[in-house]
Amino acid sequence: MDQQIFATRPRKVPVYRQIEQHIRDLINGPDYAPGDRVPSERTLAETLGANRMTVRKAIDGLVAQGLLERHSTSGTRIRLPLVTRPTDARTSLGITRLIQSGGGTPGNKLLHFQEQRASGRIAERLHLQEGAPITMIRRLWTVDGTPFCIETSHLPTERVPDLAAEDLTAGQSLYALLRNRYGITTVGAERIIGVATCTDMEVRLLDLPLHSPCLLLRLVVVDQDRQPIEYMTSVNHPQLVVFKTDDAGPSGAI
């Protein structure tokens, strides 16, 4: 086997796992995009000096994980994203509607609900005093049963009195709850999209390798009076989610 390619791999890791990681490195690099065809089993076997059956086992594993797709006529390709998230204010909020509009089945699980004190960073984004009470909500989102993002929301507790974990355990929409119970309509958001390294918790929940990169979305959501109502961070699976710019027109109500 090519010693240069696998020089950094632990010796006790099975060869097919090393090949899996090599293919992951390829598809996470700058030369490949969703929908692109990856090298054939024969090409990979020759390049890596590996048995084709071992290469096939590695590819089968990545297909089972949802990273690759086999096509009888066009070879093996990088799976197209399951979720396309617009970046404009009109459509960037409301994951449930977004997934449903794409033909998928949304789901979410409440991971954490807690009242706490705002740190300086969060207080600044919500226009609060440092140490002001806030409500933190963390949820794992799925599409067709596959986890694709973890979202952590911080809201001023005084704006959402009596909000409880039970209000969200059945997958209810937070924005519908804000609108129906508290009369708060979300009308826009400031957003920043970047890349970060997943924490141990995030790689476990999103079924990613240790130290994987992720797509990080930060939102400051404002209400009808242009007052911040939510500061949210969204950690997104890099192979299952893409962000798309929508130039359709001016922002409106969400």
Q: Give the span between the Cα atoms of 83 and 85, in whole angstroms.
A: 6
Residue 102: its pLDDT value, please?
A: 76
Cα(3)–Cα(114) distance, integer angstroms: 50
pLDDT per position as a tens digit, 23-74: 988 887 778 888 889 999 999 999 999 999 999 999 999 988 778 888 877 7
pLDDT of residue 7: 52
Q: What's the confidence (pLDDT) of residue 88? A: 66
Angle at 78 between CA 104 and CA 81, to 5 degrees: 25
Residue that is written with structure tokens 């009308």 in the block: 187
Query: What SS3 string covers 129-166?
Result: CCCCEEEEEEEEEEECCEEEEEEEEEEEHHHCCCCCHH
**Regions in the chain scoring below 50 on pLDDT:** 1-4, 90-91, 249-254
pTM assigned to the model: 0.72
Tens of pLDDT, residue by residue over 226-235, are: 999 999 999 9
Domains of the chain: 15-78 (1.10.10.10), 83-244 (3.40.1410.10)
At 10 the pLDDT is 57
d(CA 136, CA 231): 10
**Residue 3: its pLDDT value, please?**
45
* Per-residue pLDDT at 44: 93
- DSSP letters, 69-128, are EEETTTEEEEPPPSEEEE-STTTSS-HHHHHHHTT--EEEEEEEEEEEEPPHHHHHHHT-
Q: Distance (Å, rounded) from C-alpha 18 to C-alpha 58? A: 8
What are the structure tokens assigned to 40, written together?
């054939």
Q: Phi and psi of 54, rounded to 5°?
A: -70, -40
Give the pLDDT confidence score for residue 254 in this predicted structure: 40
Q: What's the confidence (pLDDT) of residue 251?
A: 42
CA distance 237 to 246: 21
